[in-house]
């Protein structure tokens, strides 16, 4: 495929590196230096602005900008007949994301969203095990995700509502929501608290969420910017066992998956653990899923419809907290 990349920061560079076997033909960034650096690395030509890029002769466009412009660029690219891979959260509001989703439906092009946590090997393997029936019918998930904090965090763009669309709920909380939906299907909000407990900022720094579906499954989620030590934990409970994912590599600790399988006699379960210590291959896996979906005409794992459902939960959470 001939690819265009809008946004040449850290994520744009990772996307380019993960697209090996395809041609990065065109790149652009408000920061010309960054665009030039990625051009030098990939051999891509420079586009003067994203409007030019999305109108060019490309098969697919990767949108890796800050939250505020994701939706507009993705929508224009779809309307220009390109497949799109847009970073999470794909927009700042339900309305924005709805617009992108409608553009995707109208164009018949794929709009994948960068829910890259799905492609972490421990999480992906957990999903395969759930789908194969390893833990039986789902009961509930517990998710804990947190950042340990760093000096000046309250002044970063994520803390400024106009640039981010929200705080920790939209940052790490969105991943927990997406993963809960992936493991349990459609969910709606049962409870939310999105307080600002520590940082002097205008967005939430903690979000506590209870989601549920009609089958009585519950997702019990907490994400925090005052976790004091980076952590990721997702515990998935079925009638026949549980799967526990801990860590995401790097400062989030070794990524492991533990399977506790209930035995007929109950008592201590049979426990198996896998340690995924290798380099982060989630970006390659995610891009491969994008390509697969385009080639087969199927859905991508994590697309604009998933992002829309997630945004509806986020909006409901902010409404509930404000009331």
Counting contacts by CB under 8 A, is residue 125 touching its own copies?
A: no
For 18, other C-beta atoms within 10 Å of its C-beta total 19
**Interacting span for its own copies (CB under 8 A) from 9-17, 80-88, 134-142, 177-185:** 134-142
Counting contacts by CB under 8 A, is residue 33 touching its own copies?
A: no
What string of DSSP letters covers 157-206? GGG-HHHHSSSHIIIIIHHHHHHHHHHH---EEEEEE----SSSSSS-SE
**Interacting span for its own copies (CB under 8 A) from 29-37, 158-166, 226-234, 281-289:** 226-234
CB of 154 to its own copies, least distance (A): 12
Counting contacts by CB under 8 A, is residue 321 touching its own copies?
A: no
Antiparallel, parallel or unpaired: β 60-63 and 83-87: parallel
Counting contacts by CB under 8 A, is residue 237 touching its own copies?
A: yes
Which strands, in side-by-side order, build the sheet including 60-63? 45-46, 23-28, 2-6, 60-63, 83-87, 111-114
Rounded to whole angstroms, the Cα distance separating 175 from 160 reads 20
In 3-state terms, what secondary structure has residue 234?
A: strand
Q: Pick from 43, 57, 131, 151 the residue near its own copies by CB under 8 A.
A: 151
Counting contacts by CB under 8 A, is residue 265 touching its own copies?
A: yes
Q: Which residues of 172-210 are buried (b: 16+ CB within 10 A; e: fewer)?
A: bbbbbbbbbbbbbeebebeebebebeebebebbbbbbbe
**Interacting span for its own copies (CB under 8 A) from 13-21, 36-44, 111-119, 235-243:** 235-243
Residue 221's Cα: distance from chain center in Å? 15
CB of 301 to its own copies, least distance (A): 23
Q: Pick from 251, 292, 298, 319 the residue near its own copies by CB under 8 A.
A: 251
Is 119 within 8 Å of 95 (Cβ atoms)? no
Nearer residue to its own copies within complex by CB, 32 or 272: 272
CB of 204 to its own copies, least distance (A): 12
Q: Pick from 50, 145, 183, 208 the residue near its own copies by CB under 8 A.
A: 208
Counting residues that bind its own copies (by CB under 8 A) gives 48
Q: Pick from 43, 266, 296, 323 the residue near its own copies by CB under 8 A.
A: 266
Rounded to whole angstroms, the Cα distance separating 100 from 114 reads 14
Residues that bind its own copies (CB under 8 A): 139-140, 142, 144, 148-151, 190-191, 193, 195, 197-198, 206, 208, 210, 212, 216, 218, 220, 222, 224, 226-229, 237, 239, 241-242, 251, 260, 262, 265-275, 277-279
């Amino acid at each position: 495929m001939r690819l265009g990349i809008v946004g040449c920061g850290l994520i744009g560079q990772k996307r380019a590196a993960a697209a090996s076997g395809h041609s990065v033909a065109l790149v652009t960034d408000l920061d010309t230096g960054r665009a030039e650096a990625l051009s030098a690395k990939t051999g891509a030509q420079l586009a003067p602005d994203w409007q030019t890029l999305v109108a060019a002769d490309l098969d697919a466009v990767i949108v890796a900008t800050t939250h505020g412009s994701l939706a507009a660029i993705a929508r224009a690219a779809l309307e220009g007949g390109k497949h799109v891979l847009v970073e999470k959260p794909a927009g700042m509001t339900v309305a924005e994301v709805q617009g992108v989703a409608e553009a995707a439906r109208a164009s018949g092009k794929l709009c994948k969203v960068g829910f890259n946590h799905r492609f972490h090997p421990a999480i992906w393997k957990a999903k395969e095990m759930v789908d194969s029936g390893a833990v039986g019918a789902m009961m509930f998930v517990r998710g804990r995700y947190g950042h340990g904090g760093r000096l000046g965090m309250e002044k970063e763009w994520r803390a400024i509502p106009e640039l981010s669309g929200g705080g920790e709920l939209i940052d790490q909380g969105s991943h927990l929501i997406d993963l809960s939906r992936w493991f349990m299907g459609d969910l709606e909000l049962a409870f939310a608290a999105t307080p600002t407990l520590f940082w002097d900022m205008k967005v939430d720094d903690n979000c506590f969420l209870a989601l549920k579906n009609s089958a009585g499954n519950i997702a019990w989620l907490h994400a925090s910017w005052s976790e004091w030590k980076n952590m990721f934990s997702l515990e998935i409970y079925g009638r026949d066992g549980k799967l526990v994912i801990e860590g995401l590599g790097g400062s989030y600790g070794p990524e492991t998956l533990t399977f506790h399988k209930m035995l007929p006699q109950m008592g201590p379960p049979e426990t198996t653990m896998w340690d995924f210590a290798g380099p982060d291959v989630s970006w390659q896996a995610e891009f491969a899923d994008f390509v697969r979906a385009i080639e087969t005409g199927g859905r991508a794992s994590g697309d604009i419809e998933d992002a829309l459902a997630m945004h509806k939960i986020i909006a409901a959470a902010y409404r509930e907290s404000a009331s």
